[in-house]
Structure 1
């Protein structure tokens, strides 16, 4: 009973910490405000530096706590049950991608609400890809993946590389679909973890560099800020979203993160409506596969270091390095 209470408390704390993520949608979907790039000295504020150090410390300690979390009987039972569904993750991703494309094509977009068609051939190719995805044959699936890749490249030329990095996980989906049932299929889902995590990190930085858009969403949609000013609240949500992406990349808490993110995206759907469903349906499908897959196939980078001290130092410094690198690239080119 004591262990159960401790586990419940831990999950509750994590969930509460992720509540500010409620405004973590792609803010460009819900505002017409012209983006204004914040000055770098305003972004790298004392608050930003302190939060970065605190989060780096927490993340460095977190992997040392995970073995304790896995000792709970409910955790082991959950893992065993979910392992049974791993053979279904590929079909879930394939058919889920097909459903996501159907929702997108009938609403006039592709990959995201703001990515509109630029030529008639795009919806035609999209419907061909959808049909191929629902034909349960590996060559049909690979044909669909190739078409999706071509459509993504088309959007790259239309909207630019740095805009499409928001949706880089579609490239990972293409890779999973192409390598399915081949000797390379073991690389598919690790790549999907990596691409999804990096996409979340990239979207998070948008809130630091263009905070005026997120603040406008808060003001016009009545998003609760829990006592924080809109500016501080936006910065906190950016930190949380970046941390989620980082944890997916390094392979920590993947199943728990997938559960939490799924619940949070359901809440954002209640807040923002149908546009949210269009934009995040594919993410929901990916998270379902993450819940089932866990990290049994994925060797986290932290495992390269044997001692606890080395692991703590690695995570601490690596988080600061990744945050700084993505921030500078986004600020310079996006």
Structure 2
């Protein structure tokens, strides 16, 4: 019965999927990427926002414990704690839903990565069928297919390009080690992989600002009173800060909820296509709201005094920001 259901799913999916690579979803801009001069990227505005973000981040580890003592917040935190048992289920079926959206758009992993052949389409639908099958061996098989597809797609689009979607490798890892002795490493790895991907993608907006500015101009994206150039810088900082918080382990449930709302706001400004393209990220962020960091020992915990923690977060953020920017700029 399960085999027959899987066959029907695969057949229905194939009939609904664009099978020709030319039948793809038009991406937001056809502007040619042009790297901005480094002196324009590291502008007074960029430096000011960097310092401001570092100061806010440095204060968060001191403020969050105090905020969490507030009874309404503490109650919500306890309620979310009870949902942790559903985190892996949400990741599994959320991944399947994201793949369904993508394959119906004729793409895989991202809106600009078009499915190159009918064989890949079949494999994607097979992976979807396995992921929605309620057995951990089927989940592992589906994730292995996704790993094979990611490896196959990478040379076609380049390793540098696929680093934007490295969080899929983290998702695959979590699904593969489910129901094993390594299961406890899954979500910390998901935090790390997603955080690094968000930081990497954010830098693109600084290095190639013309792409974002073209989208704002042609799609009439509201900038909320900010000049378009500054709005692009700010939106990139939101992405980068979310990624950084995931990596260093400061992102508790309350902060995850606030930043998720901001992240959704910035991604939905560009319409349905970007929301669909970032659907998997929204699933991951929802998992972070549920999970918190109860399983993750943050690097900041090695510093005991308040002063040491503030200095560590401030300097570490500036260092990570500069490192990502220089590496991206060098190899872009």
TM-score bracket, shorter-length normalisation: 0.7 to 0.9
Distance 1:210-1:115 versus aligned 2 partners, 3 A rule: same
Provide structure 2 residue ranges, at least 5 long, that are not aligned to the other structure. Answer: 1-25
Q: What do you get for the CA RMSD once the two structures are aligned?
A: 1.7
C-alpha separation in 1, matches of 2:90 and 2:209:
36
Residue in structure 2 matched with residue 248 of structure 1 by the alignment = 246
Distance across 1 between alignment mates of 2:178 and 2:223: 43
Structure 1 residues 271-290: aligned runs within 5 Å: 271-290=269-288
Alignment of 1:1-16 (within 5 A): none
2:42 corresponds in structure 1 to: 44
Aligned partners of 1:49, 1:260: CA distance in 2, in Å? 24
- Contact 1:244/1:257 (<8 A) preserved: no
Matched, 1:85 2:83: yes
Q: How far does the alpha carbon of each residue in 1:105-162 deviate from its partner, in whole angstroms, 9 at most, with x for none?
A: 1110001110011222111111111111111111111111111111111121111111
Query: Moved runs in structure 1, 4+ residues, more than 6 A?
Result: none
Map 1:94-243; keep pairs closer than 5 Å.
94-243=92-241
Q: Is contact 2:166-2:194 (8 Å) kept?
A: yes
Cα distance between partner residues in 1 of 2:231 and 2:212: 10
Matched, 1:73 2:71: yes
1:162-206 per-residue CA deviation (whole Å, 9 max, x = no partner) reads 111111110010010011111111111111111111111111111
**Distance in 1 between residues matched to 2:28 and 2:142, nearest whole Å:** 30
Any idea what SS the aligned residue of 1:272 has? coil
Q: Distance in 1 between matches of 2:243 and 2:127?
A: 29
Q: Which segments of 5 or more consecutive residues in structure 1 lack a partner in the other structure? A: 1-27
Call closer, same or farther: CA 1:196–1:151 in 2, change over 3 Å: same
Q: Relative to structure 2, which stretch is displaced further, 105-114 or 45-54?
A: 45-54
Partner of 1:296: 294
Q: TM-score, with normalisation over the residues of structure 2? A: 0.88
Considering Cα pairs closer than 8 Å and 6+ residues apart, tell me whether 1 or 2 has the greater RCO: 1
Deviates more, 1:262-271 or 1:316-325: 262-271
Deviations 1:259-318 (CA, angstroms, capped at 9, x unpaired): 234434554575433312320111121122111111111111101111111111111111
Shift of 1:86: 0.8
The DSSP-based 3-state class of the residue aligned with 1:38 is coil
The number of residues matched between the two structures is 307
